Amino acid sequence: MQSQVNRRSARPRPSSAVTLQQVAQDAGVSLATASRVLSDSDRNVTQELQERVLEAAARLRYVSNAPARALVQSTTSIVGLVVHDVNDAYYSAIAAGVMEVARDHKLLVMLAGTFHEPGLQVEYVARLRAQRARAVILAGSGFTGGSPALTQELDAFTAQGGRVAAVAHQGLAVDTIVPGNREGGRAVAEHLAGLGHTEIGVICGPLALVSVQDRLHGFLERAAELGVVVTEHHRVEADFTRDGGRAAAVRLFRRSPGITALFALNDAMALGALAALRDDLGRGVPSDVSVVGFDDLPVACDVTPALTTVRLPLEEIGRRALLLALGDATASPRTLDVPSRLVVRASTTPPPRVTG
């Protein structure tokens, strides 16, 4: 009775893709010869046959079946790029660097956005493993303490021959790029303390992120050395976004109205803080409050006042990450430091003179 077979047997498609077999036939050569010509392996083929094959391939608009090729070679020209948010200029910049190197190496990039869900990150690495991707770049900052699930997944991927490079991750046994987050935080502390600020607020992204921790600790460390104490009371945590920064700024100033300088742990949050200061709090920047960001996104010099921030060479980080993953496997895992640099613009000045 259950012979009611599912009749959706409509073939997925006519699948009229041109095959190598057809090209060979059209050129009057064997499959093997056609393959030799078109897969530019050993070119032990007569000039004449070569031309015949090339011509047939062009005429038929033949492109080789990448999955078939991948199956036999058990590798692909695919690299995966995992980011938290595609629409975040930080990742766009890294992606641009990755794409550049990918283009030069004739690699295809699979872009995976985790939408900030750590679970999705692991799932994407697994799918990239299934795709037999040659390498995976983890561009999004890792979580402090690491993730066992991610570690296991990465192990499986590398065991299969896949290469991995991570940016701002910890304890991952893969090639890792260490951006100058800590040193950048230190530079900000120095700048602000040097200007004479003593009451400084810090707007943090999720404290579980390695980047956030590094930037924050670098800052606190150097500030303390310079005699500026930033209590927890002067710190707020929020989403690593413009909206997060805006809300955080409002909260922070309600709590501590005496703050004269604000360090937002990335530019997106700094933008939000700028908006809050201007629209919600009615404070002038930098006349009332100095503001510093981090990353030096392109937008930093388009806002008013132009934002003092820490420059991270994001495109280069992207390039280096892929290059690392494409490089010598035997030397892995290795670590690459990419320095940051404070860029002073118009959003910071000495604190307003207090009358009295």
Residues forming contacts to a second copy in the complex (CB under 8 A) are 6, 12-17, 42, 61, 63-71, 73-76, 78, 81, 85-89, 92-93, 95-96, 99-100, 103, 108-113, 115, 120, 126-127, 129-132, 152-153, 156, 159-161, 242, 271, 274-275, 298-299, 302-304, 315
Options 12-20, 120-128, 278-286, 342-350: segment touching DNA (CB under 7 A): 12-20
| Binding flag, residue 17, DNA (CB under 7 A) | yes
Q: How many CA atoms lie within 13 A of 267 on its CB side?
A: 23
Cβ(345)–Cβ(305) under 8 Å? yes
Cβ(178)–Cβ(168) under 8 Å? yes
- Residue 70 or 336 with smaller CB distance to DNA: 70
User: Among DNA, a second copy, none, what does residue 336 contact (CB within 5–8 Å per kind)?
Assistant: none
In 3D space, the residue among 306, 232, 241, 302 whose CA is nearest the CA of residue 268 turns out to be 241
| Binding flag, residue 353, DNA (CB under 7 A) | no
Cα–Cα distance between 274 and 271 in angstroms, integer? 5
- Residue 51 or 279 with smaller CB distance to DNA: 51
Cβ(347)–Cβ(301) under 8 Å? no
Q: Which residues contact 293 (CB under 8 A, 6 or more apart)?
A: 264, 266, 267, 269, 270, 271, 300, 307, 308, 309, 310
- Residue 217 or 311 with smaller CB distance to a second copy: 311
In 3D space, the residue among 344, 312, 320 whose CA is nearest the CA of residue 181 turns out to be 312
Binding mask 41-80 for DNA (x = CB under 7 A): x--xxx-xx------------x-xx--xx-xxxx------
Cβ(260)–Cβ(351) under 8 Å? yes
Q: How far is the CB of 347 from a second copy (least distance, A)?
A: 12
- Residue 30 or 304 with smaller CB distance to DNA: 30
Q: How far is the CB of 151 from DNA (least distance, A)?
A: 23
Q: Which of 10, 14, 19, 56 binds DNA (CB under 7 A)?
A: 19
Q: How far is the CB of 123 from DNA (least distance, A)?
A: 17
34 φ/ψ sector (left φ>0, alpha ψ -120 to 50, else beta): alpha
Cβ(325)–Cβ(175) under 8 Å? yes
Q: How far is the CB of 105 from DNA (least distance, A)?
A: 18
- Residue 92 or 131 with smaller CB distance to DNA: 131
Q: How far is the CB of 273 from a second copy (least distance, A)?
A: 11
DSSP H or E segment with residue 100 = helix 89-104
User: Among DNA, a second copy, none, what does residue 126 contact (CB within 5–8 Å per kind)?
Assistant: a second copy
User: Among DNA, a second copy, none, what does residue 163 contact (CB within 5–8 Å per kind)?
Assistant: none
* Rg, the chain, Cα only: 27
User: Among DNA, a second copy, none, what does residue 32 contact (CB within 5–8 Å per kind)?
Assistant: DNA
- Residue 64 or 170 with smaller CB distance to DNA: 64
Cα–Cα distance between 81 and 135 in angstroms, integer? 9
**AA identity, residue 16:** S
For 202, the 3-state DSSP assignment is strand
**AA identity, residue 196:** G
| Binding flag, residue 8, DNA (CB under 7 A) | yes
- Using CB atoms within 10 A of its CB, is residue 89 exposed (0-12), middle (13-18) or buried (19+)? middle
User: Which residues make up the interface to DNA (CB under 7 A)?
Assistant: 2, 4, 8-9, 11, 13, 15, 17, 19-21, 29-33, 35-36, 38-39, 41, 44-46, 48-49, 62, 64-65, 68-69, 71-74
